[in-house]
Amino acid sequence: MRKSLKKATAKGMKEIYGADVAPDIIQVQRTKSEFSADLTIVVFPLVKYSRKKPENTANDIGVYLKHVFPDISSYHVIKGFLNLSFSSEFWLQQLNSHSRAIQNALVPESKMKIMIEYSSPNTNKPLHLGHIRNNFIGDAMSRIVKANGHDVIRVNLINDRGIHICKSMQAYLNFDPDGSPEKSGLKGDKYVGELYVKFENTYKSEIDKLKKEGLSEEEAKKQAPGMQKARALLKKWEEGDDKVIALWEKMNNWVYKGFDTTYQRMGIEFDQLNHESKTYKKGRSIVLKGLEDGIFYEKDDHSVWADLGDEGLDEKILIRSDGTSVYITQDIGTAVERFEKYNPDKHIYVVGNEQNYHFQVLKILLKKLGYDWADKIEHMSYGMVELPEGKMKSREGKVVDADDLMDEMFQTSKSMSSELGKLSDLTDEQKNGVYETIAMGALKYFILKIDPRKNMVFNPEESVDFNGNTGPFIQYTHARIRSVVRKAEKMNIRVPRLISEDIRANEKELDLIKLLYHYNMVLKDAADEMDPGLIANYAFELAKEFNQYYHEYSILKAENGNLLQFRLMLAYHVGETLKLMMSYLGIQVPEKM
């Protein structure tokens, strides 16, 4: 409707004033709630074409549009705002077609193949709150983009090689050479993570000791025996030493197993797993080729650099003096590989804003290397998660572990739910399912409702609420609706497919239908702006609006059968829309809670 309004307005401008106006400059927005109308056209931008006062221009267009669209029941003009009201018949008709509408993905102007990379963990540490935000955002964006009618490839780049995993390996050999997650009773990623911490601690004390013996900080770091051993492991790994590779595989597999459990609980999936160990060499050879071609340069110590001076940036190292490649070099390799293999129309990297510079440089380097597709890379840069006392610091143990957090959410959900006691007719297994659904809903919603670009504060004690603007609030609204539908079915009343013709909807009902009608705009905006928060806000608005309605009017005790059916149908569609919107956030909604 928006689009056709824009077109019609442009056409009207031509017919009334003989002015050529591009439809794009015409602003059509939802009418502010203080005014009783549905859509508003802002005419200020049109005044220079009409050469009339805003009021007169608005009036002229109003007359024209009302003539073109029979569905427009009335219009009125306030200053430069043309408020259009649509007839209730029009809106009731919209409700009739709503169920069909929400079953299909949107049809995009041009369908794209979009690759989305997210999660991308290191294999030396368990997942924490920061990863949670990354995973939730990446997962939600994948769902949203897909719902907009695009093809999505979800990819996880696992950082499985490098000095960090060698540190864990070194600690394993040193402290627990026959150990395993099973023997320790720990999850695989936790077990390896603890070894990593052990390494770091002994490393630290080794450095302190060497410093006391008179070495500089830098020297001490180099000479610490633990570090030297870890480096030796890395070297052996790169040389393909059988024993080292076997150990590396064994430990990584422990970690993967642990990650899988966490991913599964979070409801996170991927279409592809990339392992850095398999791609890290590619970037190196590309850079060396670039060196041959004179795009990069070599220093005396044989390290390879890119000069980014003409971009207003520094020089950037690409290959170390010992011939090994750095992070960005590997990223060049994986990017080239992906574009060669899949040729996506867009490649979104969901990575924290601390890496803004990295991606800026990555795109520049790819362009320098002559890859035109570099412009198809988008860094979806999200803000950090901070604790009330400041940034999370893994070294000081100030991290919120992903598994622990989910456990806590579950416990809260369970005790709250048990207190309310509305699930008495369910089995224990079913109950646990509901607790989990609510717990994850609360957590996901809490994180996703916030604009990804912004840093957010997470207070483990009180942040995640179950009242107000929360996941459970929306889940609850859905459960309520389902309960009504079930009751109706017991009364042998089915949700009708079409509204009977003599229905006269009240204002609240029309408001709800209008809100339902806007769902696809929200879905499109969420994809365009890359902001799942828009979906969350919409779902909240809809749930809130419905709860008010629910409180004010009885569905099952409506004055007559036709009205009852209409209200039931309306409620049902609100429920389905909530369910759908929440599904785009990766959140499930229960039948009862």
Partner RNA sequence: GGUCCAGUAGCUCAGUUGGAUUAGAGCAACGGCCUUCUAAGCCGUAGGUCCCAGGUUCGAGCCCUGGCUGGAUCACCA
* Contacts to RNA from residues 504-543, by CB under 7 A: 525, 529, 531, 533-534, 537, 540
d(CA 21, CA 44): 13
Pairing label, strands 81-86, 72-78? antiparallel
**Closest-CA residue to 268 (of 576, 587, 593):** 587
Instruction: Match 């017991």 to its residue by tokens.
Output: 490
The residue from 544, 562, 580, 583 that contacts RNA (CB under 7 A) is 544
Cβ nearer to RNA, comparing 372 with 420: 420
Smallest distance from RNA to CB 326, Å: 4
Smallest distance from RNA to CB 261, Å: 22
Give the number of residues in contact with RNA, rule: CB under 7 A: 97
Cβ nearer to RNA, comparing 238 with 241: 238
Cβ nearer to RNA, comparing 176 with 337: 337
Smallest distance from RNA to CB 583, Å: 18
Subset of 459-498 contacting RNA (CB under 7 A): 459, 462-463, 465-470, 472-473, 476, 479-480, 482-484, 487
Cβ nearer to RNA, comparing 463 with 562: 463
The alpha-helical segments, DSSP class H, found in 29-128 are 47-50, 54-68, 88-103
CA distances for 382 relative to 307, 452, 584, angstroms = 28, 5, 18
Cβ nearer to RNA, comparing 246 with 556: 556
Cβ nearer to RNA, comparing 258 with 471: 471
Smallest distance from RNA to CB 164, Å: 6
Cβ nearer to RNA, comparing 183 with 454: 454
Q: Judged by CB under 7 A, does residue 7 bind RNA? A: no
CA dihedral (51, 57, 60, 62) positive or negative: positive
Smallest distance from RNA to CB 78, Å: 4
d(CA 176, CA 171): 8
d(CA 515, CA 499): 18
Subset of 178-217 contacting RNA (CB under 7 A): none
* Binding mask of the shown chain, residues 407 to 446, with x at each position contacting RNA by CB under 7 A: ------x--xx--x-x-----------x---x--------
Cβ-Cβ contacts under 8 Å for 144 (sequence gap 6 or more) = 523, 526, 527, 532, 535, 584
Smallest distance from RNA to CB 178, Å: 29
Cβ nearer to RNA, comparing 367 with 544: 544
Subset of 376-395 contacting RNA (CB under 7 A): 384, 388, 390-391
d(CA 291, CA 389): 47
What residues are paired with 274 via a beta bridge? 157
Q: Judged by CB under 7 A, does residue 282 bind RNA? A: no
In degrees, rounded to 5, the angle at the alpha carbon of residue 475 between the alpha carbons of residues 469 and 479 is: 135
Q: Judged by CB under 7 A, does residue 243 bind RNA? A: no
Subset of 31-50 contacting RNA (CB under 7 A): 31-32, 34-35, 40, 42, 44-45
| 94-126 CB burial, b ≥16 within 10 A, e <16 | bbbebbeebeeeeeeeeebebbbbbbbbbbbbb
| 10-44 CB burial, b ≥16 within 10 A, e <16 | bebbeebbeeebebeebebeebeeeeebbbbbbbe
Q: Judged by CB under 7 A, does residue 291 bind RNA? A: no
Cβ nearer to RNA, comparing 3 with 551: 551
d(CA 95, CA 499): 8
Subset of 558-587 contacting RNA (CB under 7 A): none
> How many CA atoms within 13 Å lie on the side-chain side of 46?
35
Q: Judged by CB under 7 A, does residue 297 bind RNA? A: no
Q: Judged by CB under 7 A, does residue 24 bind RNA? A: yes
Q: Judged by CB under 7 A, does residue 162 bind RNA? A: yes
